[in-house]
Amino acid sequence: MNQTLSHGHAAEILEIRKSELIDLYDKRGYSYFDMTMDDLDDELNTFRELKKKETMV
């Protein structure tokens, strides 16, 4: 059984907006994003490459 709770569902249970949940994480010292800066750089580079290919078509 999967016991994972999405951020959106957690916010819904707490009766707050998702943006408020993100602020709450920050105040408690938790990261909303589970990603290193290197991971983020990789994602951005992939996005840029895909964008380039899209404009070439």
pLDDT for res 33: 78
pLDDT for res 15: 97
CA dist 20 → 30, 33, 49 (Å): 13, 15, 33
Q: What is the domain partition of the chain in residue ranges?
A: 7-56
User: How many Cα neighbours within 13 Å face the side chain of 28?
Assistant: 9
Is residue 18 within 8 Å of 8, Cβ to Cβ?
yes
Amino acid identity for residue 28 in this structure: R
| pLDDT band (50, 70, 90) for residue 57 | low
Work out the widest C-alpha separation in the chain, in whole angstroms: 46
pLDDT, tens digit, 9 for 90 and up, residues 1-40 = 778 888 899 999 999 999 999 999 999 998 887 778 888 8
pTM of the model: 0.53
